[in-house]
Copies of this chain bind each other. A is one copy, B any other.
Amino acid sequence: MGQKVKLSTIADSLGLSTATVSLALRDSPLVADATREKIKEQAQTLGYIYNRRAASLRTSRSGIIGVVVHDIMNPFYAEILRAIESELDRNRQTFILSNHYDSVEKQRNFIETLLQLGGDGVIMSPAIGTPKHDIDLAEENGMPAILIARSVDEVDVPTYRGDDAYGIALATNHLIGLGHKCIAMVGGTDQTSTGRHRYQGYVQALQKANIAVDPDLRIPGPRTKQAGFEAAVNFLSLPQKPTAAVCWNDLVAIGLMNGIARAGLVPGKDISVTGYDDLEEASIATPSLTTVWNGQAEVGRMAARALLDKLNGSSDADGLHLIRPEMRIRQSTSPLK
């Protein structure tokens, strides 16, 4: 519990200057090998702890990167985060994580905190209704932003997400190919860019197959298992008696399947269900879930990479980068009986 050990503690104990010690610890070629060795050893035995805030005050690079998403508890984001984490880890950046729960205010708070801490950059899945101004706040204060999973209108920073319209069309076409004609779309909102794209993809696939689009077959709702479970009641009591459901994501799909099973029907047989995202969980659900791979790991990895490159000045990948989704066919869909 002695006094705090700092550069000067080491310097004094060896009869050197702090300058030398500082350089030595950072492996500068300016200092003699023997000296460097001695210094490192002494630092070790004294239990020296590098003070990053003092350093970053001088250098204005903090090694901190912020990540803010809707909800880290949601496996969709969790899979992205894991990829981001491993990429940042590899580059010895510290990352600060936050949920915004789609509150623009909470999100702005986070950005401000990050600026105060001297964050080097921020990766965000913007909250619904995020104004351009909030992104600018970060950028103008020298903290580059990268968007994932969602876009923000008029904002040109690097953005990585799946091609939602294309992906949902894959799922819809798969069901149409199995002979289904009455296909509901369950879960999600139309307030996000994602939501609009997905609904579009669904509508266009139906139209291309000359199937009339019935707005009543759109059952919006939260994007959770719980919501999917509860949506089953509405779904099963639709007068049109849909035989299949395109779900917003795997969580909704699994919830819906549970709800269908609870009502005594067999999901995958009586009702075909598709998910979206291809979470780890999709393949072990019962029945295993037919879904659309949405490249979470890709998105996370590429976003982190883009930020690191930007910080190194080695590239500027501004604008939208779409990951192309792929179909994963399993047991939850079957031909119309």
Contact = CB atoms under 8 A, between A and B. Distances in A.
Interface of A: 1, 49-54, 56-57, 62, 64, 72-73, 75, 78-79, 81-82, 85, 94-99, 112-113, 115-118, 140-141, 225-226, 229, 255, 257-258, 261-262, 280-281, 284-286
A97 B97 contact: yes
A113 B1 CA distance: 19
Most buried by B among A96, A117, A229: A117
B117 A226 contact: no
A94 B79 contact: no
A269 B241 CA distance: 31
A215 to B, nearest CB: 28
Contact of A280 (B112, B117, B226, B286): B226
A99 B78 CA distance: 12
Contacts of A255: 284
A79 B71 CA distance: 11
Given A94-B113, A284-B258, A81 B85 contact: no
Contacts of A97: 72, 95-97
Contacts of A285: 258
A114 to B, nearest CB: 9
A106 to B, nearest CB: 8
Nearest to A53: B53
Contacts of A226: 280, 284
A255 B254 CA distance: 13
A141 to B, nearest CB: 6
Contacts of A52: 116-118
A57 B53 CA distance: 7
28 contacts: A1-B140, A49-B112, A49-B115, A49-B116, A50-B116, A51-B57, A51-B118, A52-B116, A53-B53, A53-B54, A53-B62, A53-B117, A72-B72, A72-B78, A72-B97, A73-B75, A73-B78, A73-B79, A73-B82, A85-B99, A94-B96, A95-B97, A96-B97, A225-B280, A225-B284, A255-B284, A257-B286, A258-B285
